[in-house]
Structure 1
């Protein structure tokens, strides 16, 4: 099997990767590729194969167990995205009680108030960059309040996290990881020395399991890092991708405006059709594995193309159509992989869904004439293969 150079696809692969993923799926569900950064890995593009890989214990998330030099995890400390059981199980168990559907639902009034305040400031102008005015400030405010991060530091967080997940320079991820972790160390120490508070970091400082287990300082910093990144960067693009998809499909937008009971379906279809995470984080083969008849040797890097799996026609009929009723159709969904699958399924999925639903509904109710800004130029797409979205979304109403 020939090794595929993704760079040969040119800039259009970043703008619209779906036709390229379709061609790859037609040729087979798994391919050895050279990525846009020059690194070589195995890319899983089929739905069933991707779902299997995400839950396959023969694939490790821990570079150290494979004999690889640690990357940025050496700076931030051990965290759930780079650990296998039992360490992964232990860390997730200590934090999971704070992200149950019941706990997240209790945040609904505050998420609604933040959304309303942002729209109060945005609507009178008649136009806005939706990313800057709503899609970014909503989730960063929610996760910052949840963790107990001061309001004045949130723009700095945005700059750090943008460079970590969609870097514009080769040293961006490492430099900004160092800066963010140093800040988190100071924040955690301040909370440790302060009177007890009810934010998440303060709660986790006090959390002990039934057997007395608790998070170390390094583990707490790593959790804060993961929650800040995953807790807002993906939701920014869920909101903006949902609005962009709806505005690009006027019939679907009209149906949603006429019947907001379709809202859950609209969010789920956005997650499938234009999800905020294009590929999974990396995994490593402990031993030879085979998916769809293709064998991947041991000690290889594997990425699952979530954006491709969620448009696989063997799982989703007419996959390139945006259909907000899809999840309500028996046998058709919503089994997308946008939040992953298996033990690494996104712990923040309930919060992301809540924020997406509230933001989209409030925006449509407050802006009945919402449309793309006709004077806007071409989109600037986020670089790389991790996050799918645009830096700005100019709209008017």
Structure 2
């Protein structure tokens, strides 16, 4: 294939180079300047149209002609390693569906994320955060990813779902594998294998919860965990198939922590690299909600949205994308679009702009966004309050970024600080 702009042969795009994993923003800037839509090829040989500018990206995320149903791109998904032969239809959750199925599935899950319930979770999130920081505050050094950014949201989503927190090490391996492209040399396992293991785990857990519910004689007024509530919904009137129940549980577990891990990690790194903004946030902690929104924009947890498929010819940015083509929204590129954000390469925690696409847009807007925002506020705010001189650990070596094309996050974030007495 040749690059559509230069005509030069290219096995895959610059976005897949190691340099772009560390800092993709110069590549996106060049792409935005040349055209709003680019046809590129990944190292698996799969072509997709990448949208680079904010207005086009926002419109594409809400365009009903761009389907999230994997059946429209089955062959490409199989080649990518996300699914194996025979897996078609194995993940019928709300992220992989269009209306009316999406509407039905989202309505069932939304009951767990009401403003009232999210607000009630605050004290528990604070308690978990304090406990995690207690474990390293006396040392003077820590890895914020493995010791805070990961265990906080995985513990919260496990408790919300009703999943044993003790299994979180396995979940980390599976979710990492599910998000790591097969062309990466250090891929832990094929994504389809990780998804198979996750489905098997929840198949067994659902069966166990069904058995427990038949013999339960506890407090009838107690609020059930989300997985138990979904089992009841399925049993009462068949609003969920067994496959939908299993795949929805897996989706909520992975999506319920992965974005927040990166929000906390990337947000803290942004502050540490911008001392003026770190000092401002310490001096004015009331800016924390605005700061979280800026973290989501400046170097957010989502680099490129999950792929979509054009169900008819679609014109975007003056380019006609043909029916059947794969479309990817460059969220990270849109967030640095100078036509939308003044001085976009500067971290500015006073922006307070919630129009970013960090949690998506349209019907697939992240249902857990309020929980993720709350976890981000509590984690960052508590770190700055308890460790007032926190700084990067200069002796820890170069930072490494996780090899996923969808999410953007650090493998570790070493820091140092004065130990708490």
TM-score (norm 2): 0.89
Report whether the alignment pairs 1:17 with 2:43: no
Aligned position for 2:227 = 201
The answer to whether the 8 Å contact 2:15/2:24 transfers is no
Please give the alpha-carbon distance, in whole angstroms, between the structure 1 residues aligned to 2:76 and 2:39.
22
Aligned position for 1:188 = 206
Give the direction of change, closer, same or farther, for the CA distance of 1:8–1:145 in structure 2 (3 Å limit). Answer: closer
Alignment partner of 2:158 out of 120, 141, 144: 144
Give the deviation of 1:366 after TM superposition.
0.8
Give the deviation of 1:36 after TM superposition.
3.8
Q: Return 5+ residue gaps in structure 1 as ranges.
A: 328-332
Alignment partner of 1:290 out of 315, 319, 322: 315
The answer to whether the 8 Å contact 1:166/1:387 transfers is no
Give the direction of change, closer, same or farther, for the CA distance of 1:166–1:287 in structure 2 (3 Å limit). Answer: same
Report whether the alignment pairs 1:388 with 2:408: yes
Please give the alpha-carbon distance, in whole angstroms, between the structure 2 residues aligned to 1:341 and 1:225.
22
The answer to whether the 8 Å contact 2:157/2:256 transfers is yes
Report whether the alignment pairs 1:112 with 2:126: yes
Alignment partner of 1:271 out of 279, 293, 296: 296
Question: 1:112-164 deviations in whole A, cap 9, x for unaligned?
Answer: 10001101111011101110110010001101111111122111111111111
Give the deviation of 1:46 after TM superposition.
0.6
Please give the alpha-carbon distance, in whole angstroms, between the structure 2 residues aligned to 1:318 and 1:389.
23
Please give the alpha-carbon distance, in whole angstroms, between the structure 1 residues aligned to 2:276 and 2:299.
17
Q: Return 5+ residue gaps in structure 2 as ranges.
A: 217-222
Aligned position for 2:364 = 344
Report whether the alignment pairs 1:34 with 2:41: yes
Secondary structure, in 3 states, of the residue corresponding to 1:337? coil
Please give the alpha-carbon distance, in whole angstroms, between the structure 2 residues aligned to 1:42 and 1:338.
20
The answer to whether the 8 Å contact 1:63/1:69 transfers is no
C-alpha RMSD of matched pairs (Å): 2.0
Aligned position for 1:367 = 387
The answer to whether the 8 Å contact 1:30/1:44 transfers is yes
TM-score (norm 1): 0.94
Give the deviation of 1:236 after TM superposition.
0.6
Alignment partner of 1:315 out of 334, 340, 347: 340
Give the direction of change, closer, same or farther, for the CA distance of 1:76–1:367 in structure 2 (3 Å limit). Answer: farther
Q: What does 1:47-86 correspond to in 2, within 5 Å?
A: 47-65=54-72, 68=75, 71=78, 72=83, 74=88, 76-86=90-100
Give the direction of change, closer, same or farther, for the CA distance of 1:70–1:237 in structure 2 (3 Å limit). Answer: closer
The answer to whether the 8 Å contact 1:63/1:82 transfers is yes
Alignment partner of 2:398 out of 348, 370, 378: 378
Q: Is 95-104 or 26-35 further displaced after alignment? A: 95-104
Q: Is 165-174 or 370-379 further displaced after alignment? A: 165-174
Report whether the alignment pairs 1:90 with 2:104: yes
Aligned position for 2:377 = 357
The answer to whether the 8 Å contact 1:7/1:35 transfers is no
Please give the alpha-carbon distance, in whole angstroms, between the structure 2 residues aligned to 1:358 and 1:206.
33
Question: 1:237-256 deviations in whole A, cap 9, x for unaligned?
Answer: 11011100000100000110
Please give the alpha-carbon distance, in whole angstroms, between the structure 2 residues aligned to 1:67 and 1:169.
22
